[in-house]
């Protein structure tokens, strides 16, 4: 079939004509379609929602940024423990006390040794016959 010729398969044409007649029968009138109220465009709903989301994200980002700036004053417990265990050695020496180092200077190797926690007799707690004191939790160099 050349590009200027009409479709050549009579069977297909007949089948499509059956569909066409069915569609024509069910088609709404031109006036009905033209006068049909248009649906709310998705964009109209998306713009305000997207704006609100973007604004909330911006505020949250600012909040996170401000929290990050205050991070040294909100050191986590293991890091605080690390400073507590390392400070006595400095304090007992004659050197002048240095101001507390910012948390950000600690590397992963500087965290306090927590191995003594493994020595806790946890089975004793489980049996309901725990020790009278919790001294075992205190590192040896700081115990009384």
Partner 1 sequence: MREPGSPLEQELAAMHAASFGWALACCRRDREEAEDVLQQAYVKVLSGRAKHDGRSSLKTWFFGVVRFTALEHRRWSALRFLRRKDAPETDELPASSRPDPAVARETAAAVSEALAELPERQREVLHLTFYEGLTIAEAAQIMAVSLGTARQHYERGKASMLALLDRRGVRG
| Residues in contact with partner 1 by the rule CB under 8 A | 1, 3-7, 9-30, 33-34, 36, 38-43, 45-46
Cβ of residue 47: shortest distance to partner 1, in angstroms? 13
Cβ of residue 111: shortest distance to partner 1, in angstroms? 48
CA distance 87 to 141: 12
CA distance to 85, 122, 124, 133, per residue, from 113 (Å)? 9, 19, 23, 21
- Which one, 47 or 116, has the nearer CB to partner 1? 47
- Which one, 49 or 132, has the nearer CB to partner 1? 49
- Which one, 8 or 115, has the nearer CB to partner 1? 8
CA distance to 67, 78, 79, 80, 83, per residue, from 73 (Å)? 10, 14, 12, 11, 13
Cβ of residue 49: shortest distance to partner 1, in angstroms? 11
- Which one, 12 or 117, has the nearer CB to partner 1? 12
H/E run at residue 53? helix 42-69
CA distance 25 to 101: 85
Cβ of residue 33: shortest distance to partner 1, in angstroms? 5
């Amino acid at each position: 079939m050349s590009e200027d010729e009409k479709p050549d398969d009579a069977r297909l044409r007949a089948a499509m004509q059956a569909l066409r007649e069915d569609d024509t029968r069910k088609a709404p009138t031109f006036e009905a379609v033209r006068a049909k109220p248009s649906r709310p465009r998705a964009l109209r709903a998306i713009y305000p929602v997207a704006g609100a989301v973007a604004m909330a994200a911006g505020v949250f980002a600012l909040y996170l940024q401000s929290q990050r700036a205050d991070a040294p004053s909100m050191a986590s417990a293991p890091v605080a423990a690390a400073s507590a265990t390392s400070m006595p050695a400095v304090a007992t020496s004659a050197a002048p006390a240095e101001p507390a180092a910012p948390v950000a200077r600690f590397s992963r190797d500087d965290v306090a040794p927590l191995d003594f926690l493994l020595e806790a007799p946890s089975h004793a707690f489980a049996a309901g016959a725990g020790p009278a004191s919790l001294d075992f939790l205190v590192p040896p160099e700081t115990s009384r």
